[in-house]
Structure 1
């Protein structure tokens, strides 16, 4: 059955269209976008009255950690969960993310082997609600500080081991491999400068991933790690806070193939966190403050040169739970000098390009992943942080949340 959403203002992924429009959806795709005055009733169509609200693409979380347990519905004060509880939390987090207007997610690594592949299949089959998911596997990295291990080096070290790891991921059905190329001061102080792979290992990763048809997501802070990520053909680089002029130039040279997500959400959340006395976040707060100061210069400079920069901010910590992901848009406005429209584009059209799918735009022929918003996010992106203001959530033409009568 066709669906007609009428009398809406449209942010199409690039900008706000002039006047009110109607959108006709047939199957899982947008059949037409027309001025409201030129399209009345459609025979047999289910009609959704927009009443002047804003229709926009579903948002894309470009740095998703669905296996990081904490969400706005349930906080975990331990990072590593038993396998049964990890699955419960992960399935919940997928639904929470969709509930908050994110219809697509690109994984930045998992805490369980194979769990995201199972989740992606369950979502695709309609067995559980969640966003379109590019699944990943365990973050391939040396361990962090005691009790906060985020990954594992399995299959050993060296180029052959890397190739075996990529083959293993291909067989599992992984869409993107997460390589932690540099350390992480927030989890293990003083390690962000460390480079955790050799040139030969990263070259092998890039070659094997290309042959297997897989993407690579990379955690990289300093110039050497950024250089290795780019030479491996990384689909996306996270953080890059300490990029120097040469590293920034290299990122721009690769801007048609590589995306960038600074991931400020976790930094702002860490700075605002008020942990109990027995939890010491001083090193995490110091690292976050330094990163935000650097990124406040780096991000606008790269944007001005055409880098595709995406939202996504390590949500899933107890102080930064999943469900607050839309806060990144306001952070881009407040800290990086984005206009609301530019922040929305980063969360929709550019995120859709990362996914490699026809999502992130309100455009004829594209997948009908849509939000109906009470208010105008092109003027105030903060309204997207209130899920009550998202009156409708549609994924592939199917209503996850129907507007009130």
Structure 2
């Protein structure tokens, strides 16, 4: 199947200005990209789509996906833990919701059910259910009761041997990335963000075992010691890092070719804006969110200026921060971190594709055809991407998921 999209304004993912042009898709890959009003005229295609001057851009990448955190823009849950069957329904729904909103790839930051994301990823790959390309995870591994909420499990106990067994278990499960909660979490247990939940020996064992198993590690790390342990373990991505000091920032810069950073501001802004009913006390969560945003407003621009690859992804899935609002992170990057709209788009596309280690995130010959046709110009106003109605076409792997009206 050859599809030709003509008369588009192309954002290629690199941050360059829009250019008028056309894109030819052959099978699941981009066969040609050409510029000019008459680009690819006469090119043989099974279908020709007239973009009508809309913006053609890469599909977005959610780098901090929590598909088993049940709440979405379609259904809000007021409990965090769901029965297994309902959890599966929510996860399958959330995968579709992400794709509906232009996210064609997702990197999991941990699940609330063991094995569920592996099953979901397989179902997506088989075409049994719609969803983004998914790097699946298993339960977030955190010492039992550390946050005062059952969000994880110790699996096999403590110590380096237990960690090695956990990594072997993950390998057997077929996951792509294991999630280690290295810091506590003030939002769940006030005053715990500075706690370090693993020993040096455990993290060293995790890093070595994951490398041998060919798995990635995603880490929840707030303070310098936790960031140090994450980097020593060879973390693929570090989430939050809000309290990084100069030495921790230097270490993140030194690891910039191997480790990505996602500050995850979406949950902070949503917590600050939330208006819970009187019986729900979010005061500690709001206090923590305000403190983190103040710190990250300085940290993120400084690390960006030094070449750290910083990604969108904001802990979506809480009832006050549901899945489907994920594109809001782009606007937050612009409003709070000083990004231009084009820079925020690059974080959501090109850099996200690098995290996935797939040929996605660029409108470039040879890349996988994960594309969005947007009614508007997100290089001028990234907020347009928060309206799924503005996505005139969604293409994943060369197949049209949402067709132009």
Q: TM class, shorter-chain normalised?
A: over 0.9
Query: Shift in Å at residue 19 of structure 1?
Result: 3.7
Give the corresponding residue for 2:47. Answer: 46
Matched, 1:91 2:64: no
Matched, 1:5 2:5: yes
Query: Shift in Å at residue 296 of structure 1?
Result: 0.3
Residue by residue, what CA displacement relative to the aligned partner does 1:155-189 show, whole Å, maximum 9, x if unpaired? 11000000000000001101000000010000011
Give the corresponding residue for 2:21. Answer: 21
Query: Shift in Å at residue 15 of structure 1?
Result: 2.7
- Kept in 2, the 8 Å contact 1:217–1:234? The answer is yes
Query: Shift in Å at residue 16 of structure 1?
Result: 4.0
- Kept in 2, the 8 Å contact 1:58–1:370? The answer is yes
For structure 2, the 5+ residue unaligned runs are none
Q: How does 1:38-77 map to 2 (within 5 A)?
A: 38-77=39-78
For structure 1, the 5+ residue unaligned runs are none
Give the corresponding residue for 2:150. Answer: 149
Give the corresponding residue for 2:33. Answer: 33
- Secondary structure of the residue that 1:38 maps to in structure 2? coil
Q: How does 1:6-405 map to 2 (within 5 A)?
A: 6-17=6-17, 19-35=19-35, 36-142=37-143, 143=145, 146=148, 148-404=149-405
* CA distance in 2: counterparts of 1:41 and 1:17, whole angstroms: 26
- Secondary structure of the residue that 1:37 maps to in structure 2? coil
- Kept in 2, the 8 Å contact 1:26–1:397? The answer is yes
- Kept in 2, the 8 Å contact 1:163–1:208? The answer is yes
- Kept in 2, the 8 Å contact 1:67–1:110? The answer is yes
- Kept in 2, the 8 Å contact 1:33–1:364? The answer is yes
- Kept in 2, the 8 Å contact 1:177–1:217? The answer is yes
- Kept in 2, the 8 Å contact 1:9–1:17? The answer is no
Query: Shift in Å at residue 144 of structure 1?
Result: 5.2
Query: Shift in Å at residue 45 of structure 1?
Result: 2.0
- Kept in 2, the 8 Å contact 1:155–1:165? The answer is yes
- Kept in 2, the 8 Å contact 1:144–1:187? The answer is no
User: Alpha carbons of 1:192 and 1:145: their partners in 2 closer, same or farther (altered >3 Å)?
Assistant: closer
Query: Shift in Å at residue 40 of structure 1?
Result: 1.6
* CA distance in 1: counterparts of 2:77 and 2:14, whole angstroms: 38
User: Alpha carbons of 1:44 and 1:360: their partners in 2 closer, same or farther (altered >3 Å)?
Assistant: closer
TM-score by length of 1: 0.98
- Between Structure 1 and Structure 2, how many residues are aligned? 403
- Kept in 2, the 8 Å contact 1:9–1:16? The answer is no
- Secondary structure of the residue that 2:251 maps to in structure 1? helix
- Kept in 1, the 8 Å contact 2:6–2:39? The answer is no
Query: Shift in Å at residue 38 of structure 1?
Result: 3.3
- Kept in 2, the 8 Å contact 1:70–1:321? The answer is yes
Query: RMSD over aligned Cα, in angstroms?
Result: 0.9
- Secondary structure of the residue that 2:105 maps to in structure 1? strand
Residue by residue, what CA displacement relative to the aligned partner does 1:112-157 show, whole Å, maximum 9, x if unpaired? 00000000000000000000000000000133555x3211111110
* CA distance in 2: counterparts of 1:47 and 1:68, whole angstroms: 39
Query: Shift in Å at residue 41 of structure 1?
Result: 3.6
Query: Shift in Å at residue 43 of structure 1?
Result: 3.0
